[in-house]
Copies of this chain bind each other. A is one copy, B any other.
Amino acid sequence: MKLATLKDGSRDGQLAVVSRDLKTAHLADGIAPTLQAALDDWAFISPQLSDMYQMLNSGRTSRSFDFDPAKCMAPLPRAFQWADGSAYVNHVELVRKARNADMPASFWEDPLMYQGGSDDFLGPTDEIVLAHEEWGIDFEAEVAVITGDVPMGSTPDQAFQQIRLLMLVNDVSLRNLIPAELAKGFGFLQSKPASSFSPVAVTPDELGDHWQDAKVHLPLRSTWNGKLVGQPHAGVDMVFNFAQLLAHLCKTRNARAGTIIGSGTVSNKDAKRGYSCIAEKRALEMIDDGVASTPFMLFGDTIRIEMLDGAGKSIFGAIDQTVKQAEAKKSR
């Protein structure tokens, strides 16, 4: 099934069931007010949402309406946890190579993951509002899962059972703030502003055979200013699958329902597949030419992130955003 959260002026929005073809939707208000509420009691709530989904797909609903991604918040407009992995180790290796830094061999066995801010996510078509182009504004196209409760010490197999939903993410990054911030040793804070999510979150069964080994086996398309710049295959070169990433997070603590785990920037060793973030393009330029010639995003730039199924149909709807300058009074 496919679920969205519609803007209604509230902080958590209103949960809606969306048809498989993303054309119609139905409020889930009689079942659960918000996606977090559904996740909190998934075993009881999800069959009811699934029933509504069946009816919606068959056209047998009385109160359905046209689905409009522009009216969507992030499926979880605010979440209790957002932890982002770097499962496509090729990306990490390239970015490091560009700055002449070797990558520790352990990165192939021990997942890299950071704890991100989760209190203020952007919807799929919300503007990316930032104060300065000089911060080095970049997109990062990723796949993410939303989980149920995962107890401390869970194995990857146990963690796998708690994967409830999948989404796409734009993990917006401020490249020129990253080096100084990481040098301080405590990870990202200012260099990772609000992330954006796809219009709908889908249950794994929606992916059919493309969901295997806790990976999504489809290309992820990034279109920057109207030009397709990347379509790396999310099932290729993903060194740690979502079950492994989740187990890594839970080594010393529980992860509670509504936890979001990101894959990290999707990246293939085959450079012909293009890129899911500008930093990787610039890394390749550095390695090949000694200079990074592609600039980061400018105010007014657009980024569209989407995943199509084998028949060319959008699975999650598109993240489709414009970068905008913050009002002067709010810039610093």
Hey, which bits of chain A sit against chain B, CB under 8 A?
11, 40, 78-81, 83, 86, 104, 107, 110, 112-120, 129-131, 135, 151-153, 155, 174, 177, 182, 184-191, 193-194, 248-249, 251-259, 326, 330-332
Main secondary structure of the interface of A (DSSP, over half): loop
Residues of B within 8 A of A186 (CB): 86, 112-114, 182, 187-188
Minimal beta-carbon separation of A146 from chain B (angstroms): 12
Closest chain-B Cβ to A141's Cβ sits at a distance in Å of 19
Q: Bound complex: CA of A255 vs CA of B194, how far in Å?
A: 10
Q: A11-B40, A79-B80, A186-B187 are in contact. Are A252 and B119 (CB under 8 A)?
A: no
Smallest CB–CB gap between A223 and chain B, Å?
A: 25
> Which B residues touch A256, using CB under 8 A?
11, 78, 119-120
7 cross-chain pairs, A with B, having the tightest CB-CB distances, nearest first: A187-B187, A80-B119, A153-B330, A81-B119, A114-B186, A119-B256, A193-B253
Interchain nearest-CB distance for A110 vs B (Å)? 8
In-complex Cβ contact of A249 among B11, B40, B189, B259 (8 A): B189
Q: CA–CA, A206 to B27, complex, Å?
A: 44
Q: Are B190 and A252 in contact (CB under 8 A)?
A: yes
* Chain B residues closer than 8 Å to A110, beta-carbon distance: 184
Pairwise interchain contact A332-B248, C-beta atoms closer than 8 A: no
Please name all residues of chain B whose beta carbon is closer than 8 Å to the beta carbon of A174 when the two chains form the complex.
Answer: 252
A40 to B10, CA, bound (A): 10
